[in-house]
């Protein structure tokens, strides 16, 4: 029914209670997921998921196996069961994990690992006061200014997708690139972060040499450690440098993984890539999966990327010179425009996953 504001006699819109309660129900789900993010990280960091994946347990036995307090573990288990992350057997009072959930929650080196996404999200949310200030003033907030969990969470969020798709699907989709890498190619990985993509390629193509770069010094230090741990440090160099500071020339391949949209001047970076490539070189551009219109992106994946973009991508781009702020849902048309404005003559989408689109650009 329609209600009336007695103060100014202005008619208020009628409220359909079923529609209202449906929205409240969705909100409750979101609230549970928001609070649940911290509980997922507790389960991963304390080894609770890994231990529970070994077989059913109650709170006492799980706490004993993980060196934790049983009262806290009991509350954690109940919440995990309510959220559908673990299974509860009321008859025995025990909890367990399905093989699928254990696969997705316990192996940071596997092709699907979900806790890293929550680490990235919670790390980004720590910047809430600074992002609120950016909203009010139009100022930027650089990637390097974020909490450490943003950098580690970003690697752990994206690395499983690279493990699953980079070597078996994305590189073979590029025209002639896999053969060149097998024979021995010169590769630059711009915006490499902790070097997950760089190290994966170096391990797969021992005849090739690689240089990774990122303007965040802490990430480059981590990348160097990862290269040493993987035993590829003799063929991989990591530099603290922005995308437009690459000194290499006549490169066979340049890669950018989930970072072009973060740049304040992506066209300038693209021009620099073109000048750094050999005449027959290739630029592989991996970007978040997105359509070209807002309507195309009104879905769960779009919601995730718009959310991250509000806290991470747009503020970082605004913090840099250049005047661009593409955001994480820029879409293929926007990426194509950047590439062609930089002078590339060939551009095509070569692969896609639910989370990424992969493009090939050539001079």
For the record, the structure tokens of 84 come out as: 């559908």
CATH number at residue 206: 3.40.50.150
Residues 29 and 83: their CA atoms lie apart, in Å, by 9
pLDDT < 70 regions, the chain:
1-11
Would you tell me how many other CB atoms lie within 10 Å of the CB of residue 95? 25
Residue among 25, 360, 363, 350 nearest 165 (CA): 350
Q: Do 337 and 152 touch, CB atoms closer than 8 A?
A: no
Query: Which residue, of 106, 140, 157, is where some domain finishes?
Result: 106
pLDDT reported for residue 6 = 45
Residues 274, 135: one domain?
Answer: yes
pLDDT reported for residue 289 = 97
Helix then strand then coil, % of the chain, to nearest 5: 55, 15, 30
Residues 97, 124: one domain?
Answer: no
Query: Which residue, of 44, 72, 106, is where some domain finishes?
Result: 106
Residues 34 and 275: their CA atoms lie apart, in Å, by 45
pLDDT reported for residue 1 = 34
pLDDT reported for residue 10 = 63
pLDDT tens for 144-190 read 999 999 999 999 999 999 999 999 999 999 999 999 999 999 999 99
Task: Say if 124 falls within a structural domain.
Answer: yes
**Coil/strand/helix, residue 189:** strand
Question: pTM for the whole thing?
Answer: 0.91
Q: Do 159 and 196 touch, CB atoms closer than 8 A?
A: yes
Query: Which residue, of 74, 106, 138, is where some domain finishes?
Result: 106
pLDDT reported for residue 13 = 83
Residues 86, 131: one domain?
Answer: no
Residues 221, 346: one domain?
Answer: yes
Residues 284 and 250: their CA atoms lie apart, in Å, by 15
Task: Say if 6 falls within a structural domain.
Answer: no
Using CB atoms within 10 A of its CB, is residue 71 exposed (0-12), middle (13-18) or buried (19+)? exposed
- Range(s) of the domain holding residue 274: 120-362
CATH number at residue 53: 1.10.10.10
């Amino acid at each position: 029914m329609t209600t009336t504001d007695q103060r100014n006699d202005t008619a208020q819109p009628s409220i359909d209670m079923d529609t209202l309660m449906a929205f409240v129900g969705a909100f409750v789900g979101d609230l549970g997921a928001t609070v649940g993010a911290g509980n997922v990280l507790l389960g991963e960091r304390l080894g609770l998921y890994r231990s529970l994946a070994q077989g059913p347990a109650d709170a006492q036995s799980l706490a004993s196996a993980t060196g934790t307090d049983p009262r806290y573990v009991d509350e954690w288990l109940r919440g995990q069961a309510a959220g559908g992350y673990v299974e509860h057997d009321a008859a025995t009072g025990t909890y367990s994990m399905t093989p699928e959930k254990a696969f997705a929650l316990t192996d940071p080196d596997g092709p699907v690992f979900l806790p890293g996404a929550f680490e990235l999200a919670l790390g980004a949310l720590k910047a809430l006061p600074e992002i609120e200030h950016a909203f009010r003033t139009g100022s930027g907030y650089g990637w390097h200014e974020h909490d450490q969990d943003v950098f580690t969470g970003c690697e752990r969020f994206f690395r499983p997708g690279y493990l699953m798709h980079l070597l078996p699907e994305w590189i073979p989709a590029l025209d002639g690139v896999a053969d060149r890498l097998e024979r021995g190619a010169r590769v630059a990985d711009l915006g490499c972060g902790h070097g997950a993509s760089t190290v994966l390629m170096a391990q797969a193509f021992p005849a090739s040499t690689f240089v990774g770069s990122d303007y965040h010094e802490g990430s480059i230090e981590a990348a160097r450690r990862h290269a040493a741990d993987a035993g590829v440090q003799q063929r991989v160099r990591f530099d603290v440098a922005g995308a437009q500071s690459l000194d290499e020339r006549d490169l066979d391949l340049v890669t950018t993984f989930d970072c072009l949209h973060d740049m304040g001047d992506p066209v300038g970076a693209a021009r620099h890539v073109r000048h750094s490539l050999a005449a027959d070189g290739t630029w592989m551009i991996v970007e978040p999966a997105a359509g070209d219109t807002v309507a195309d992106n009104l879905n769960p994946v779009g919601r995730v990327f718009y959310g991250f973009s509000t806290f991470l991508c747009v503020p970082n781009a605004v913090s840099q010179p250049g005047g661009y702020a593409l955001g994480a849902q820029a879409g293929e048309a926007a990426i194509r425009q950047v590439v062609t404005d930089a002078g590339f003559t060939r551009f095509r989408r070569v692969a896609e996953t639910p989370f990424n689109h992969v493009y090939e650009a050539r001079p």
